A and B are shown apart, each in its own frame.
Chain A
Amino acid sequence: MRVGLFIPCYVDQFYPQIGVATLELLEKLGCEVHFPLNQTCCGQPMANSGFEHLTGGCNSLFIDNFEGFDYIVCPSGSCTLHIKEHLHEEKREEKASTIRKRVYELTEFLTDVLKVENLEANFPHRVGLHQSCHGQRGLKLAQMSELNAPFFSKPEQLLKQVKQLDLVSLSRKDECCGFGGTFCVTEEAISVRMGQDRVKDHEDKNVEFITGGDMSCLMHLEGILRRQQSPVKVIHIAEILNSTVK
């Protein structure tokens, strides 16, 4: 199975360890993983700011880089959702459409395609899960608290397989953290307040780590935690799922 590794631009630049963890994890699980070298960004920051019409270049580039893979896997729900919903190119619409169908967020790829039931991971810590909205409500990685529908959660399904991990339940289990792309600077006051409230929910439950599938949300929460000199740390779910007893 040939997997194209799609690493969001800010992860490439600021959090390379998440790319490494994702790649190692997928290889451990038997995938043949390639990282197309000319990838940059999915175009979401522009599109969500109202500039979808400027994202043609990003779209062509994405198709150049990712056509021909069996699957495209990305450790970010938000970037995955953007590609799934907005990747188009007039001249190569068929290819775009194939890519839209083959792109997966990491945890759903593990639960739905690889059907992982037994992870060899170990993480002896108290952890809170931040459900990022685009992954949850967009990609439906977990049941949404608003709906009258049966519970499921792909990230939790995986975290439960991690030995010694103590997963807490939050008082607001799927409230947005307030990152929201450029929202985090254009609506600074609200964004920060939302982040502070999220952080407090985790702190009240005495977590050591906040994890999640989207580093952008975690980066925002990390910025707040560090400013408050909190001992709580953030860690991407790929790093936990890839962690072994050392």
Chain B
Amino acid sequence: MESKVLEHSKASEVFNKDKERVGWHDETLWFVRSKRDKAAHNIPDWELLRSTASNIKHNVLSNMHDYLVEFEKNALANGVHVHWAADAEEHNKIVHGIIAKHGVTRMVKSKSMLTEECHLNDYLAKNGVEVIDTDLGERIVQLRDEPPSHIVLPAIHLKKEDVGETFHIHLGTEKGNKDPQYLTEAARHHLRETFLTRKIALTGVNFAVAQTGEFVVCTNEGNADMGAHLADVHIACMGFEKLIPRREHLGVFLRLLARSATGQPITTYSSHFKKPREGQEMHIVIVDNGRSTQLGREDFRNSLKCIRCGACMNTCPVYRRSGGHSYHNAVAGPIGSILAPNLDMRKNADLPFASTLCGSCSNVCPVKIDIHDQLYKWRQVIVKEGYATTSKKLGMGAMTFTLSNPAIYQTGGKVGRWFMRNIPFVVNNGLNPWFKNREMPEPPKESFREWYLNNKKS
């Protein structure tokens, strides 16, 4: 895996140079969060729905083995080919194997964060297969050769001007035309042609039902259906945590998913796939890629309950102001920061620290993942495993020493002086990041302790 990445703090410093854009990004996502609030507050049983979903997923995580076996058995009986992939590489090989068998070099793909996680597009490109992303947002970032910056709204970091420019370069739209209607129409034509000529379609999976072996894909654009219905071969890729026990549980999850994601009562298309139609071939690739390890980490296993609604990103005040790319991981934002260290602790050591631990993420999460508590716990793990930067370690040592020793704390000198030297946020020198955009607090004449001794202590 790649090792050199720009840390979140540095990347978001760059993102923050354009103040106006940051403001716009923040407002746009806050708008989505507000829509989510409205939708959630319109359902009297919302909080009950969340705990129900959380409990169902709890059951799934505790019985993963049995549900996987049940799902495979039923899917096979439905005439679906089932593949198992231990990691990203195996997943990519399996997908490529299916494509190669059919002698095809072009494929359509609807949104799948799993394939982003596995870097499938790159792998297939290297092997001579061209992938066209058919989700509009995904297609925009694909044309720009960028990863998605958000799991539900892949191009949310782009303004319509940016999209106009991208389409002008790649699809030959008029220069300077940023009218959303015009641009969508252009994308529609471009994609329609693609849909009609592709023999293989790959989709993600939102929910896989153990009881029936079927799976559900949610999109707003209908692009998953369009791809899958027109193609001779349908490949569906899923992380193993997408399982739910029974069909009736969809009634819980579908109600939560769209409301949490965008504030819609339901996604425009919730497509159920059970068996291949006459003459079609259907494959399901079930992927582990670190999930078993995460399942074995007691403090972090609940992160596998995630249904990828993106609500934690929309509400996160840090995400809204750093943009998804600052997280250098397929899944950005709070959930990304608790999933990523499991995949590569060294590379992602910065992510659990890219949070104020405000806790808003845990409150919006439809499956009640204790996201901010897990961020705190990852910090402890990362430091213990030795991935904290040395300077941080030294500073902390000195700080703990003094703060555990009242005599030293009290004789540290004049009021505020020890603090000014040692506490990270008030270190009194011009190089301190605090000082770049903020004034220092002014040390008072006496500390509270001194005041107390002078005025109260009898």
Chain A interfacial positions (CB closer than 8 Å to B): 7, 9-20, 23, 35, 37-41, 43, 45-58, 60-61, 133-134, 137-138, 144-149, 172, 174-176, 178-197, 219-220, 222-224, 226-227
Contact = CB atoms under 8 A, between A and B. Distances in A.
A155 to B, nearest CB: 17
- Of A18, A48, A61, A174, which is in contact with the most chain B CB atoms at under 10 Å from its CB? A48
Interface string B413-433: 001100100011110000011
Nearest to B356: A180
Contact of A147 (B47, B379, B446): B47
B379 A50 contact: yes
Contacts of A53: 380, 383-384
B295 interface: no
10 contacts: A10-B419, A14-B416, A14-B444, A19-B448, A37-B452, A50-B379, A148-B41, A183-B353, A189-B15, A194-B317
Top 4 closest pairs, chain A to chain B, by CB: A57-B404, A223-B438, A180-B356, A50-B383
Interface string B13-32: 10110010011001000100
Nearest to A12: B448
Contacts of B362: 137
Interface string B376-393: 100110111000100010
Contacts of B451: 16, 19-20
Contacts of A193: 16, 19, 22, 321
B153 interface: no
A169 B434 CA distance: 29
Interface stretch (B56-64, B156-164, B395-403): B395-403
A144 B37 CA distance: 11
Contacts of B382: 50
A154 B436 CA distance: 35
Nearest to A42: B403
Contacts of B363: 137, 144, 146-147
A45 B423 contact: yes
Interface residues of B, number: 82
Contact of B446 (A16, A178, A180): A16
B451 to A, nearest CB: 5
B8 A187 contact: yes
B43 interface: yes
B189 interface: no
Interface of B: 8-9, 12-13, 15-16, 19, 22-23, 26, 30, 37, 40-41, 43-44, 46-47, 315, 317-318, 321-322, 353-360, 362-364, 376, 379-380, 382-384, 388, 392, 396-397, 399-406, 409, 415-416, 419, 423-426, 432-434, 436-444, 446-453, 456-457
B37 A190 contact: no
Instruction: Classify the secondary structure of A's interface with B.
Output: helix
B383 A223 contact: no
Contacts of A183: 353, 355-356
Given A12-B448, A184-B434, A192-B437, A58 B380 contact: no
Instruction: Classify the secondary structure of B's interface with A.
Output: helix
B317 A178 contact: yes
Contacts of A185: 424-425, 432-434
A226 B19 CA distance: 20
Contacts of B9: 186-190
Contacts of B448: 7, 11-12, 15-16, 18-20, 35
Given A16-B447, A188-B437, 5 more contacts: A13-B415, A35-B456, A46-B399, A134-B357, A197-B23
A15 B321 contact: no
Contacts of A188: 9, 13, 433-434, 436-437
Given A43-B403, A176-B317, A223-B441, A149 B16 contact: no
B452 A50 contact: no
A192 B356 CA distance: 12
B416 A13 contact: yes
A185 B356 CA distance: 11
Given A41-B403, A146-B364, A182 B425 contact: yes
A235 B285 CA distance: 58
A23 B403 CA distance: 23
Contacts of B47: 147-149
A13 B415 CA distance: 6
A192 B355 contact: no
Nearest to A16: B448
Given A57-B405, A137-B363, A145 B37 contact: yes
A191 B362 CA distance: 20
Nearest to B364: A146
Contacts of B383: 49-51, 53
Contacts of A35: 448-449, 452, 456
B452 A48 contact: no
A61 B406 CA distance: 8
